[in-house]
Amino acid sequence: MKLEGVWLPIITPFRNGSIDYEAYAQLIDYFISKGISGLIPLGTTGESPTVSETEVEELVDKTMSVVDRRIPVFAGVGGNHTAKVLKMLKVVAQYEVDGVLSVCPYYNRPDQNGLYAHFMALAETSDLDIIIYNIPYRTGVNLENETLLRLAEQKNIVAVKDSCGQIKQSLALLAQKPDGFSILTGEDHLYYTTLVNGGDGGILASAHLNTAAFVHVYEMVKNNDHQAALQKWQSLAALIPLLFEEPNPGPVKYCLEILEQLPSGQTRLPLTPISEELKAKLRMALGV
């Protein structure tokens, strides 16, 4: 299975403090209808740090039931204690997910040897396909290209969500992309840049909005219609900075709520509602 196109790190809807599974199911059906290539529950955009272990299982089970094999599902399973991550891999595997998105260990900041050993332990313990998530500004550690390319030699380490924050590193990685390995940007503003430099797509929080247009950009680049893709992309790009002006996924959830695609834009503490100033900017950008 080649990982490509628009993958959605789907939000987790909350209502009165609990997960709103009815709204969640409706969102899944909607985004599949717009052409996304894959779904990632329990990513950072899904507020995974605030989801209990019981809710993790409920959410994965609900996701698999609603998706019903229409598109692949990779669950967010990561942490900074390798043994705990290995246990959680076994838990989500019971629900027959297609793979996992696993972030670099955070806070304890392992060196390159530690990062390599961590992901090798995951790959050797589980048959699930693995997308490595490199996001140094959240984790405090950068997975260097040399280390990532060594890990990519493992058959079930199939992709990277590249949010390294360094365009030089990202372009160097794209130039060395191994056969069969997918590079999916997690930097929404670099989606078009990644595609035209040989990347395979993106895991994009901003694709909760104008989803079909994000898919269309991918399809046009794949068909070598780069100029048309650029025009479409420029119409999308202006909204992206607003969606990350305050902590994700607050702005995205607010937009879905005012567009009446989500009953409530609630987040869980420590995230709080977005500011009135940003709300006004988003309403203006969306024309509502």
> What was the pLDDT predicted at 21?
98
- Number of helices (H) and strands (E), helices first, in the chain? 13, 10
> Is pLDDT at 20 greater than 80 in this prediction?
yes
Point out the residues that are catalytic: 133, 161
Domain count, the chain: 1
Strand, coil or helix: 39: strand
107 contacts: CB under 8 Å, gap ≥ 6: 80, 139, 140
**Can the peptide bond before residue 249 be classed as cis, meaning omega within 30 degrees of 0?**
yes
What is the CB neighbour count within 10 angstroms for residue 239? 18
More confident residue, 118 or 2: 118
Under 8 Å between Cβ of 47 and 267: yes
**Which tokens go with 125?**
């313990």
User: What is the Cα–Cα distance from 203 to 5, expressed in whole angstroms?
Assistant: 9
Compute how many other C-beta atoms are within 10 angstroms of the C-beta atom of residue 98: 18
SS3 content of the chain, % helix, strand, coil (to 5): 50, 15, 40
Residue 267's pLDDT is 98
226: tokens are: 């780069």
Joined tokens for residue 115? 């990062």
Interatomic CA distance for residues 243 and 265, integer angstroms:
14
Can you read off the two tokens belonging to residue 74? Answer: 């990779």
The tens digit of pLDDT for each residue in 126-180 reads 999 999 999 999 999 999 999 999 999 999 999 999 999 999 999 999 999 999 9
pLDDT 10s digits, 33-59:
999 999 999 999 999 999 999 999 999
Residue 221 forms part of a structural domain: no
pLDDT of residue 1: 77
Residue 16 counted as domain residue: yes
Query: Considering the chain, what is the average pLDDT of its residues?
Result: 97
Those residues whose C-beta lies under 8 Å from the C-beta of residue 260, and which sit 6 or more positions away, are: none
- Can you read off the two tokens belonging to residue 205? 């929080």
pTM of the model: 0.97
Q: What is the DSSP letter of 36?
A: -
Tell me, yes or no, whether 201 lies in a domain.
yes
**Given this model, what pLDDT does residue 265 score?**
97
Residue from 63, 81, 59, 68 nearest 14 by CA: 59
Q: How far is CA 70 from CA 65, 170, 256, in A?
A: 10, 31, 23
186 belongs to a structural domain: yes
Q: Hey, is 98 helix, strand or coil?
A: coil
The verdict on residue 73 lying in a domain is: yes
- Structural domain that includes position 117: 5-212
Give the closest residue to 47 by CA, choosing from 66, 21, 23, 19: 19
What Å distances lie between residue 113 and 82, 89, 139, 147, 148, CA to CA? 14, 22, 16, 8, 11
Give the CATH number of the domain where residue 115 resides. 3.20.20.70
DSSP lists the bridge partners of residue 168 as none
Percent of the chain with pLDDT strictly greater than 70 = 100
In Å, what is the CA distance from 180 to each residue of 87, 159, 170, 183? 28, 9, 18, 10
Nearest to 104 by CA among 78, 84, 83: 78
Report if residue 259 sits inside a domain.
no
Give the model's pLDDT for residue 105: 97
